[in-house]
Structure 1
Amino acid sequence: MGSKQIAQETFDDAVQENITEFEMDPEEAVREAVQQFESQGVDLSNIVKAVRQPASENGQRQKHQILLTLDSLGRAVADSDLAAVAEQLEVFGEQCREQLAFRYLAGQNGAYSVVFSACQLASGDRDTTLRAFSTLSALLDGQPDLLDEAGQDLVLQSLRQGREDAELMLAGLRCLRQACLKHEQNRQDFVKGGVLPLLTGAILQHGHHAEVVRAASAALRVLTFDDDIRVPFGHAHDHAKMIVLENDGLRVLIEAAKAFTDSPGVLSELCATLSRLSVRNEFCQEIVDLGGLNLMVSLLADCIDHPVRNPSGLQDVVRQVLSAIRAVAGNDDVKDAIISAGATDLIVLAISHHLGNPQICEQGCAALCMLALRKPENCHIIMEGGGALAALQAMKAHPREVAVQKQACMLIRNLVSRSRDFSQPILEMGAENLITEARAAHKDCDDVAKAALRDLGCKVELRELWTGQKGGLAQ
């Protein structure tokens, strides 16, 4: 993708020039403009690639459709015409959801202040309020910088009012999530504003409302992200600790999961959030003590026993359960509990049953890798259960997936580093060729592949980066 940026007006002028100067039809003019700018390395992801309506009779330049809708919404808000506001919010929200370029153009033309005013105007009218928050969520998608302090207060207010109204709570949760993705300052501001007890409270209050539980869990998870490249150090770890220690987050999530054993979407989200909260040894142990490990193992077994039920949703549950097991296995004592629960065989079965899914292969290998780390006795169980063979099959099935190759190499290395007796059986499975191919194909695999080959007893050329000798330096 190109790194250069242009203004919407620049693109529109190029399209218009193609139409008037080169007599192209509108579609051809747009295609030619796109090709022209992309060949120059321009990033067009935020550009509306459509023909702007021709100038009016008085020569006034016309606008793209989404800006015309925004004008109509602005007039309705200025006139305090609630019926017209509701109608225009619906249209504008749908246009924002179509693509990032539409909502970006709207955002650059004052859409946030208009939608915020619509939210304020709608206060007291439930249906219009829901529509306004839905539109705000759509507008914030991919551009959380638009939200200001007044908007944060508005979202927090909707979450407080939503204690008794599941739909209003859901609307606020969706706005919160969009505002916090890739925006560290918004995350910190919301936490300081008291959002954490509102989120765990939403799960408790609306414990049987699948969409609310799922959205609240997703919001908690986003608050533990460290995805804002503009900030050198985030508060992800601190937020995770606050969720667990001050808001009983682990218990809330695990108890919620017990009510949705037949809802893959909710279970996936809850397991993903538990993974993000497994940041300390005692948290991993608490998940086990609260029955979280038994729940994960049961989910994994159920997914394997019923492979035809909602295949895509099932695979997502399997992936997130494996990710959660991998996370809690960071605690050495929990490793033993996982092995005792019979999870090893289930992880191997999950990889084998979903060999075509690279994410499941990656997380399965990563979970086994964690279980084998510093635990020779676990390595024996993994080997006997076919873990090494499953990892090599995953490497063979996904030669271009660097994450699969890397996790499989790390697993092989952990299996043999303290149990050299396993080297020969693993080599007989064809490990050397597969690991060598991974090393050649993926630069990111070089170190882990060399370590695996070395511990397997294979000949590895080690490059001497520095001899420690001085000389040749100008005095």
Structure 2
Amino acid sequence: MVARKRVTQESFDEAVQENIAEFDMTPDEAVKSAVEEFEMQGADLAGIIRTAEGGNIDSHPAALAAHRLAAVVGAVCDAESSEQINAEAEACQQLLQVLRSANKEARAEAVTVAVKAGAVRALLSCHAITKEADSVDNTCLALSALPIVLVSDDARDEFSAADGVETLASLLDRWTGANARPGTGDVVGASAAAIEAAASKHENNKCAFVDVGVHMRLISAAAVASGSPNGGPGAGEPVPPPPSALGALCGALRSFATADDLRPSTSRAFQNGRTIANAGALEAMYGILHWENNTEVAAGHPDLVAAVCGAMRRIAVNDDICTEFADLGGLNATMQAVRKGMGSAAVARSGFGLLRQLANSDAIKNTIVGQDGLELINTAVAAHIDCAGPLEQALGLLVSLMLRNPGVAERAAAAGCIDTVLDAMRAAEAFGARGFPDSAVGAQWVQRQACMALRNMVARNPELRPAVLEKGAEPFLRRAKVAHPATCDDVGAAALRDLGFDDYLA
């Protein structure tokens, strides 16, 4: 993907005023026309205020709330009385109310205006974030606004310029380790959510967080939970963060190892993944999964399991890390967690995504198959036949398991995986036009993995061709090629070729 051209507020405002002056449009018509024109050019309008007033934001409620917060924060820094600290909390609450407007478009505009009015710097300067050591509620209140405003490149750039990385690192130091106390888990969770928002799609922030050791602070907090895998802390041990906080912590670690910023020519995501793995993340993530698998809660905490698997999928950047995690017990724990949380689409999607990553190692492939991994794939596809995410990841695992492995391909056919693949293709066809409920474009990716699975099944096992064809694979493959040429033409043709068709390119 290529980063889209950014549009400045000034350019957008000029286009609106030109529409009004030269084409006699009403303000609303002028704004609509300007938006359509820029979008036709493939421009990025993120962070643009789409009103006739444009950059004139002084009277906007979000600007007023941000200015009030900045004024109160300045007063608190001069004299830290309890009244002024309470006033700061009230100002944060007022800003949050404006940012949580009921209307989606109003929310987006309010966030844009708040950022332009200095909300990011004001929040990072809050006494609750920079100095206060006792009030959990005030600290979490101020932190909770950061993920809301850190949704654009401009906001994340402002976060960086305002020393946000150092500020949040210092905050973690005041609440973790020897400074842990009641409420630490809530503060860590709120901090981690803010950290993930700041690191998302911003390479410089990702690297800065890792360079100052924020990943080690987060791993240490996770280790408190993973150190007690059989049901929580013992007497005198620190209380682990709540599941929601652990999930946010995993999200932050995942963001450091994800190459999602299209602006720079290179990414340090691979290196960050290795750094995080070497800092103890594998033990911590395994420990959380082990604790979840042994919890008395019937379904466990599916959001947390999904977050752990999502983080580990990004951290396991090479074969050595995959093998080390598996040797720790991480592979068994992941498969157990997927079985326990099979009712959750999020667990199935993230869990199979992690298994798919671990299966890059041939030794791990055989272990997955030996632990009824093929049957687990069949179960997942049947359970989530209406969700693109689980289908794509489960079929992707099947593709990996059978790759250059005729023995596994034979076992897959015997286990009923041909029917499973075709069931997924049938669902993708049914949802294709309107999109899966969880993904408008998911059908093409489900179909791509299905085509690859059928090809890998017969590529080195020609004796399986009759069984695949008797099930009706050919028309499914040809329809996938036609419906999704960009994603399925090549893999569909390869599957048809290996099934023995001379007209596989047709």
Q: TM-score, normalised by structure 1?
A: 0.85
Instruction: Check the 8 A contact 1:140/1:146 in 2, yes or no.
Output: no
Is the CA contact 2:289–2:337 (under 8 Å) kept in the aligned structure 1?
no
Structure number with bigger Rg: 1
8 Å CA contact retained: 2:13, 2:52: no
Task: Note if 1:328 corresponds to 2:358.
Answer: yes
Counterpart in 2 of 1:5?
A: 7
CA distance in 1 between counterparts of 2:147 and 2:349 reads 28
Q: Which residue of 1 aligns with 2:395?
A: 365
**Counterpart-to-counterpart distance in 1, 2:126 and 2:475:** 63
Whether the 8 Å CA contact 2:395–2:421 is kept in 1: the answer is yes
2:249 partner letter: A
Task: Tell me the C-alpha RMSD between the 2 structures.
Answer: 3.0
1:35 alignment partner, one of 22, 32, 36: 32
2:274 corresponds in structure 1 to 241
1:260 to 277, 288, 292: 292
Distance 1:461 1:432, change over 3 A: closer
Q: 1:66 aligns with which of 46, 62, 65?
A: 62
On the 8 A contact 1:8/1:105 being kept in 2, the answer is no
Q: Does 1:136 align with 2:146?
A: yes
Listed as ranges, the gaps of 5+ residues in structure 2 are 77-83, 102-106, 226-239, 294-299, 433-442
User: Structure 1 residues 236, 23: closer, same or farther in 2, change over 3 A?
Assistant: closer
| Aligned twin of 2:386 | 356
Equivalent of residue 269 in structure 1, options 293, 302, 307: 307
Q: What are the superposed Cα offsets for residues 241-265 of structure 1, whole Å, 9 maximum, x if unpaired?
A: 11222x1211110111222341001
Tell me how far apart the structure 1 counterparts of residues 130 and 276 of structure 2 sit (CA, whole Å).
Answer: 32
In structure 2, the residue matched to 1:283 is: 321
SS at match of 2:125: helix
Q: 1:260 and 1:114, CA in 2 relative to 1: closer, same or farther beyond 3 A?
A: same
Are 1:396 and 2:426 an aligned pair?
A: yes
1:115-166, Cα deviation, whole Å (9 max, x unpaired): 2332478622624333222223332233311113622111101111221122
Q: Secondary structure at the match of 2:7?
A: coil
Distance in 1 of aligned mates of 2:338 and 2:128: 46
Shift of residue 369, structure 1, vs aligned partner: 0.5
**Within 1, Cα distance between the matches of 2:470 and 2:445?**
24
* Structure 1 residue 354 displacement after superposition: 1.4
Letter in 2 for 1:456: L
Residue 123, structure 1, aligned to residue 131, structure 2 = yes
- Where does residue 470 of structure 1 map in the other structure? none
Given that 1:275 and 1:327 are in contact with CA atoms closer than 8 Å, whether structure 2 keeps it comes out as yes
Distance 1:189 1:448, change over 3 A: same
Q: Which amino acid aligns with 2:166?
A: D
Q: Report the Cα offset of residue 51 of structure 1.
A: 8.3
Judge conservation of contact 2:292–2:305 (CA < 8 Å) in 1. yes
Seq. identity, %? 26
> Which of residues 360, 365, 369 in structure 2 aligns to 1:339?
369
Change (3 A) 1:6 1:179: closer
Distance in 2 of aligned mates of 1:282 and 1:79 = 53
Shift of 1:9: 10
Q: Determine the C-alpha separation between the residues in 1 that align with 2:424 and 2:328.
A: 33
- Summarize the alignment of residues 185-204 of structure 1 with structure 2, pairs less than 5 Å apart: 185-204=204-223
Q: CA deviation at 1:64?
A: 1.3
* TM-score in terms of structure 2 length: 0.80
**1:259 partner SS:** helix
1:456 paired residue number? 499
Secondary structure, in 3 states, of the residue corresponding to 1:248?
A: helix
Q: How does 1:399-410 map to 2 (within 5 A)?
A: 399=429, 400=432, 401-410=443-452
Measure the CA separation in 1 of the matches of 2:360 and 2:147. 36
Give the direction of change, closer, same or farther, for the CA distance of 1:120–1:378 in structure 2 (3 Å limit).
same
Paired residues of 2:190 and 2:245 also in contact (CA < 8 A)? no
Counterpart of 2:47? 46
Does 1:93 find its partner at 2:93? Answer: no
More contact order relative to length (CA 8 Å, sep ≥ 6):
2
User: Where do residues 424-463 of structure 1 align in structure 2 (5 Å cutoff)?
Assistant: 424-442=466-484, 443-460=486-503
CA distance in 2, matches of 1:267, 1:447: 35
Match of 1:310 in 2: none
d(CA) in 2 for partners of 1:89, 1:13: 35
Q: d(CA) in 1 for partners of 2:16 and 2:393? A: 47
Q: Number of aligned pairs? A: 441
Aligned to 1:292: 330
Q: 1:156 to 1:282 in 2, by over 3 A?
A: same
Mapped partners of 1:93, 1:248: distance in 2: 36
Q: Deviation per CA, 1:389-416: give whole Å up to 9, x if none.
A: 2111111211331111111111111111
Contact 2:128 2:138 in 1 (8 A): no
Contact 2:193 2:251 in 1 (8 A): no
Q: What residue number does 1:469 align with? A: none
TM-fit CA distance, 1:14: 5.7
Of 35-44 and 327-336, deviating more is: 35-44
2:201 is paired with a residue whose SS is coil
Deviations 1:35-56 (A, max 9, x none): 3223323465534457879xxx
Q: 1:135 to 1:383 in 2, by over 3 A?
A: same
Q: Which residue of 1 aligns with 2:229?
A: none
Specify every segment of 5 or more residues in structure 1 that has no aligned partner in the other structure, as ranges.
Answer: 54-59, 308-313, 464-475
